[in-house]
Amino acid sequence: MILFHVNISDAGICRQISYREIFELKIAYKVWLDNDGKAFGEGPYQLLKKIETTGSLHQAAIEMKMSYRKAWTTLKNIETRLGFPLLERKIGGIAGGGSQITKQGYNLMRHYEEFRTSLKEELQNLYQKHFGYLSNK
């Protein structure tokens, strides 16, 4: 916590104003799986979560404010880097198309969620160990 005073002169009248600025330091980080380039991280994870709820790569892309082409290319590149398919795609028709996440895709998502949670907890512990003293002022 920082406490400071400022003197303000207004038409020759001096007054003192106290400001209290409370700040909280936090750790910030990005992490992803890499295999000769980004293979999987938060963005693709969120895209798969949207596909899970919408059943559609097209709709997921719209909700994430990205083009269908970018979403499709992203997933194809990830599948190449990981060596397995993330989606089963159904071509449109009378019943309409859609996308379903494969078992391997769900497995990846589950492990990523667990990894992300564990990483957050461990990093928070390390932060407290090394920088916790900054939060006690």
pLDDT tens figures, 25-60:
778 889 999 998 889 999 999 999 999 999 999 999
Least confident span in 4-13, 17-26, 59-68, 83-92: 4-13
In the CATH scheme, what architecture does the domain 29-135 have? Orthogonal Bundle (1.10)
Specify the pTM. 0.75
Domain ranges of the chain: 29-135
Contacts of 132 (CB under 8 A, 6+ apart): none
Average pLDDT over residues 57-76: 96
Task: With both helix axes pointing from N to C terminus, report the angle between 103-135 and 42-54 in degrees, rounded to the nearest 10.
Answer: 130
